[in-house]
Structure 1
Amino acid sequence: MASLAEVKAFRGEEREWEDRSWFPPGPQLAVCLSGDKNRLGDLTDAELCERMAAARRQASWAQAQELAAIAELAARRHAQDEHHDPDYRVLSARESLLEEVSVALAVTGNAAATLVHLAERLTHQLPGTQEALQAGRIDLAKARAISDATDHLPDHLCTRIEDTVLDGVEERTTGQLRGKIKRLVRRLAPAELAEQTRRTVKGRRLELWESGHGAAGLALIDIPADDAAAVHNKLTAVAHGLKQDGDARLIDQIRADLALQLLRGVPLPEAVRTPPAQAEPSTPAVPDTPGGDGDSVAEMVGHAARRRLEELRAHVEFHGRLADLPRLAARAVEELHERLAPLRDTACGHGKPGYRPPTALRRQIEARHATCVFPTCNRRSEHCDIDHTTPYGTRGTTCGCNLAPLCRRHHRTKQTQGANGAAGWRLFQPWPGVLIWITPAGTWHITLPSRQ
């Protein structure tokens, strides 16, 4: 197989942002981002994706430097407090620290307190998270999510949860990350979670703020999750009833108007209630699923399937350096799909008649994937379309090896593959529940069963 240098020499190409996913953040990457060869119009789609990811890694690195400086200053102020008797007439060194950070960064006192707390937690309780931020594996929002979700937990539990969630953290959104930590805390520290919930709910409040253009926001903050879900589900059921009666407003508008009427003392209308299955719960309980984070992938896809996935990864990683990545990546996945066909036939059997999947099969698909299978989507699968990965009527069957939940938005995204002659999204399911997305730029992402 030709080397990368030989391929580039043959093609007469040299791409500034080619294969930069390995480039760590720091001074060298800063030079690359600010160099002369950074004209965005000259970059391919894949190179633009590399550049935006590199800029995000660099921003994470810079934020890690900021937090490290705050933590060091905090340590010095703590030391000053220990060597001086408290005097109620002056600010303590700790209180003075918050003012220093506030002035240095031009942020409010509350924002300064949040930064100091995060900096100290990353330094003392969550060093792995600090290292991941420094390396650009996570951004500041994910670091905050980990810190907030493990606050008030014993150090040994913080370490255990941190080690677990940092595995594969690059592929998770902040919402997915919070959900994973919540399930871990519920399982490993139920008493601590109950106490943390009690303390949080004790600070419940109603907040009002201006949102601009003559509008405002009004929200109940830190109320019990079950109560919040019950109120939301009640309003949703009534909103759907009004919608079925011909109300032209959007569901969100109806819910907001109903909540405002209730708070002003106007009773709910006598709308037709829809069955609970048609409501949209805001915070549904997510059961712990065996293998929910890919721990039992070997059992799910089989040894042969995993081996072929590794072949695919190596194949795409080499060809991913070329300009025609979308075509080559799709061809590699199609080849994998064909090579796994005999195994799928044996394991699955196929043979569900008709286009619409039976209820039992739909429930099986929803149990396999708790959410939409788009890599960054958290839409619950029971509120998604059950999509034929390979279109029905061509080579696609109504079977577990060809069905997956897609929310309406990402169902439409998948339908745009190659529309109007443009490069589109490609979706493959080489093994039941294992989805491979290829973006228009040629990057690819794997969604495993029960991705949370």
Structure 2
Amino acid sequence: MSSRAIAARERADARLAVLLPELVRVRREVARLAAAEVELLAEAQLVAADWAAEEDPDATSAAEFPFRSVAAEIGAAWRVSDRTVQRRLGEASVLVGEYDQTLGALAAGEISAAHARIIVTAGAVIDRPELRAEFEGSVLAYAKAESASRLAPIARRRAEWFAESTIDDRHRRARAGRRVWVSDLDDAMSEVRAIVPSVIAHGIHDRLTRLARRVQDARDGGDADAVDVTDTARAADATAAADAGEPLLGGWGQDGPDVAGADTRSLDEVRADIFADLLLAADPVAHTGSSGLGAIHATVQITVPVLSLIGDDVADPFELAMLEGRCPIDAQTARVLTADAPGWDRVLTHPISGAVLGVDRYRPSEELRRHLRVRDRHCRFPGCRIPARRCDTDHTLDHAAGGETTAQNLAHLCRRHHTLKHHTAWTVRQHGGGVLEWTSPTGRRYTDTPTSTIAFAPDPECELQPEPAPF
């Protein structure tokens, strides 16, 4: 790196060191104002409730109008939909009335409004106030230390510990609400939405992503022949569609890209086009030039406690099956998925802290890699949730500098944060149990704790130190 580049980086770090405290202060002020708004909305909800209490008890529908009227008044003043306001009135009432610690943390700027919303939403499955208070206490410390996106799967899992109804029962009821609908957008576009079981939804997205990446790899030179065949296939499909008076597959329409020209679509665009192809035909026919697309199937990863596989009698909330980094799934779905699984990983965890001690199989292979995937779950840069399967396995202390290839010196980093670590002044070091401590160019320190330590821990109040992995 040249002396000019070094000087420019140092100037940038110095300026950021001045800006960062102000950004943090403003963020806390935004959270404080969000808490104040929540309290005012809860007060408005009480106004509507007092009004509704005076309505004729025999006129059952009349009690709803005070809430609609109050919501309409606020919505008109805010210039937003009164339906949105009415939903927020209900959320605010729950937050103020049942999650006072969360509201206090929001007012103090320790969490964001997104954190508070996730805690309230996850706690909706808990019926008894005393159990909601326990749930709140079990996730609030984690919320203060992690991003909202990382909090969501942990909060959903913790809520199951305190819920009196099981995920299996709620899943059976929720399945009755599955549906597909279309919302019209501007500029001759529409949005297709579907409510389906989580495993199905993430499986669909995974397969679409893998199909789209295969198309892009062929296009970008991974296989020159495949690119030529793709263009030929597109031309043939376009000709056939034109002869039949039909639009092109893939969502392009009549104003789509020139079939003889270069394919410059982004990953999102290719994914959307293949989604349309799969629904309009049995296979992605508009993308058949990318060899092997028909052989790509969806992949989902789940964590299933062994007792959940024995039978239907296990209803312990600590024995939940989890869709990787997302949400709990019902036991029946977990059993169906594991019945044909090509291989199982056995995860050994600390009996109290929940830290991952090791991962093995009946036929051991790549034990260390599997251990790290289960321990990390995603990129280990603070706040990042890129899945581990799409990340690099990075030596915390570079191998060239003597770093060992052990669990105590390896962690998953996505390509973005892997390159950030090597090409900027960001540094990282490992503590015990896979805990990483990042230091920014301005000298601030951020601790990242493995999600698995939180997810597998049966006692969130335990303070025992995890033992090192046997690698």
**TM bin (shorter chain):** 0.5 to 0.7
CA distance in structure 1 between the aligned counterparts of 2:297 and 2:62, rounded to whole angstroms: 61
Q: Which amino acid aligns with 2:198?
A: A
Q: Which amino acid aligns with 1:208?
A: S
Deviations 1:10-53 (A, max 9, x none): xxxxxxxxxxxxxxxxxxxxxxxxxxxxxxx9x85234222111
CA distance in structure 1 between the aligned counterparts of 2:201 and 2:376, rounded to whole angstroms: 25
CA 268–203 in structure 1, closer or farther in 2 if over 3 Å, else same: closer
Work out whether 1:360 is the aligned partner of 2:334.
no
CA 51–284 in structure 1, closer or farther in 2 if over 3 Å, else same: same
Aligned residue in 2 for 1:351: none
Work out whether 1:68 is the aligned partner of 2:39.
yes
In 2, are the aligned partners of 1:232 and 1:281 still within 8 Å (CA)?
Answer: no
CA distance in structure 2 between the aligned counterparts of 1:130 and 1:266, rounded to whole angstroms: 50
Q: 2:418 aligns with which of 411, 414, 426?
A: 411
Deviations 1:313-363 (A, max 9, x none): xxxxxxxxxxxxxxxxxxxxxxxxxxxxxxxxxxxxxxxxxxxxx822212
Q: 2:156 aligns with which of 182, 185, 198?
A: 182
CA 199–365 in structure 1, closer or farther in 2 if over 3 Å, else same: closer
Aligned residue in 2 for 1:83: 54
Q: Which amino acid aligns with 2:387?
A: R
Aligned residue in 1 for 2:137: 163
Deviations 1:126-159 (A, max 9, x none): 2222121112111111111112222243133322
SS in 2 for 1:169: helix
Q: Which amino acid aligns with 1:59?
A: V
Trace 1:111-126 onto structure 2 (pairs within 5 A): 111-126=84-99
Trace 1:51-450 onto structure 2 (pairs within 5 A): 51-85=22-56, 92-155=65-128, 156-189=130-163, 191-194=165-168, 196-197=170-171, 198-199=173-174, 202=177, 204-210=179-185, 214=187, 216=189, 218-242=191-215, 243-244=217-218, 245-246=226-227, 249-265=265-281, 267-269=283-285, 271-273=291-293, 284-286=323-325, 295=353, 359-417=366-424, 424-431=425-432, 433-450=434-451
CA distance in structure 2 between the aligned counterparts of 1:90 and 1:80, rounded to whole angstroms: 8
Aligned residue in 1 for 2:239: none
Tell me the CA shift for residue 237 of structure 1: 4.2
CA 216–138 in structure 1, closer or farther in 2 if over 3 Å, else same: farther
SS in 2 for 1:372: coil
Q: Which amino acid aligns with 2:383?
A: T
CA distance in structure 2 between the aligned counterparts of 1:265 and 1:440, rounded to whole angstroms: 52
Structure 2 gap segments, 5+ residues each: 1-11, 219-225, 231-262, 303-321, 329-346, 358-364, 455-471
Q: Which amino acid aligns with 2:275?
A: A
Tell me the CA shift for residue 410 of structure 1: 0.8
Q: Which amino acid aligns with 1:411?
A: H
Deviations 1:352-401 (A, max 9, x none): xxxxxx82221222222121110101112122100011111222222222
CA 142–109 in structure 1, closer or farther in 2 if over 3 Å, else same: same
CA 391–274 in structure 1, closer or farther in 2 if over 3 Å, else same: farther
Tell me the CA shift for residue 250 of structure 1: 4.5
Tell me the CA shift for residue 284 of structure 1: 4.5
CA 73–285 in structure 1, closer or farther in 2 if over 3 Å, else same: same
Structure 1 gap segments, 5+ residues each: 1-40, 301-357, 418-423
In 2, are the aligned partners of 1:209 and 1:217 still within 8 Å (CA)?
Answer: yes
TM-score norm. by structure 2 comes to: 0.64
SS in 1 for 2:400: coil
Tell me the CA shift for residue 180 of structure 1: 0.5
Aligned residue in 1 for 2:19: 48
Tell me the CA shift for residue 231 of structure 1: 2.1
CA 165–70 in structure 1, closer or farther in 2 if over 3 Å, else same: same
